Structure 1
């Protein structure tokens, strides 16, 4: 692979430039950063593409609601991303929509595009007949969902109990500090200051897949591991060592 382009997610706390610097020190390809993909390559039909990719029910494979009001919502979300939220999108459908909008001269697999998105994406599980939120969707482009980092891997059960308790008391979502004090276990929450560090590994997973054809690492202490629970994310992305012995040979600077 010759080059990797990362795209900023301006409403997220992820520092795309810091992620790019970290990646650049570990791979041979040229790494660059551009502004928000949805702003640079958006067009008049992109809002409808997002409307078509909306997940309607956790247990319904069919997606999409292109009623005028929904399309108008997606138009506003594209113009003002801070207004978006509370929706899950079919990650593969979003990936296809963004692929079609990559400049034709840059669609080669020698040039990986990695948009950091402020949207939640998921993939359908044929094994259990339901949608699953994802942190990343590998391929070209490779989508990395910043809110997916907080929402996709499961948190400790006590977290959800505390969240429900605060909601019943009319307080909405409890602050991160409250959750960290009241819930045992390690996990990331919205706008977590560790977001940039954790996202680095998910971006590297995108590069590794397109460059080698390998998906994820089975070693739970490696940045290329893809855990399904939050403590696993902390272990893989925020604890030493960064890589298993095999991938350390390839990616340790």
Structure 2
């Protein structure tokens, strides 16, 4: 039984952890204590442990979409990861094995808060992926469920596929010019509803992904099969908009629990 949820801020992003926490309190049992804390990575990398955590991040780096092996022990990469842990504004453009990061961060939970009666959900400013054995490639993810659960804010924009029109326009431009158009150009000309970097709807969309993390620990159910439910695992941006930003918020079954 979950009695505490700890939500961690991601201060370099458009996500408002306080608003998400307030939304959770309205949906969970009143006995559940929902707390909002500072950035998880700052707490985990405090003091001498920063180098160890930086090495874990370096080891979790994804090199290629189709290569299972990850990571490097190169000193320059570890130093880069140390700098980004200290100053997250200096990071970006790197994809990590979400499961490897989760294991590294789980080891840094205090023993008093490690039991599953306390669910830790970290909003992170890193792009994450998980390996697909079924097709032999990495897949970007918005969240990685477990303890702690990781919710990637850049993953919200990058992991779900864009509308088909986006890729048609991208291909047409490449045929004419020989290169890909800047993303902001595509975003301005393509009709269709999808989220972009620092989208003002970011906080609202992330609420469902944070709830998924709590729901998974409490019930063992990863996702909902109904597309129009905040607990759905949407693989395309239009599905994210449908599930997270439009009514009804939940399918009939989950509305009985959270609605």
Q: TM-score range by the shorter chain?
A: over 0.9
Q: Distance in 1 between matches of 2:170 and 2:97?
A: 26
Q: Shift of the alpha carbon at 1:159?
A: 2.4
User: Over residues 188-215 of structure 1, what are the superposed CA-to-partner deviations in whole Å (9 max), with x where a residue is unaligned?
Assistant: 0110000000000000000000000111
- Which residue, out of 143, 152, 156, partners 1:149? 156
Partner of 1:191: 198
Q: Is the 8 A contact 1:112 1:141 kept in 2?
A: yes
Q: Distance in 2 between matches of 1:168 and 1:104?
A: 55
Q: Is the 8 A contact 1:154 1:230 kept in 2?
A: yes
Q: Distance in 2 between matches of 1:31 and 1:196?
A: 17
Q: Shift of the alpha carbon at 1:245?
A: 0.6
Partner of 2:13: 12
Q: Shift of the alpha carbon at 1:99?
A: 0.3
Partner of 2:27: 26
Q: Distance in 2 between matches of 1:213 and 1:174?
A: 39
Partner of 1:116: 123
Q: Is the 8 A contact 1:163 1:174 kept in 2?
A: no
Q: Distance in 2 between matches of 1:147 and 1:31?
A: 24
Q: Distance in 1 between matches of 2:183 and 2:57?
A: 27
Q: What's the TM-score, normalizing by structure 1?
A: 0.94
Q: Distance in 1 between matches of 2:64 and 2:25?
A: 40
Give the count of matched residue pairs.
249
- Which residue, out of 15, 18, 38, partners 2:41? 38
Moved over 3 A (4+): 160-173
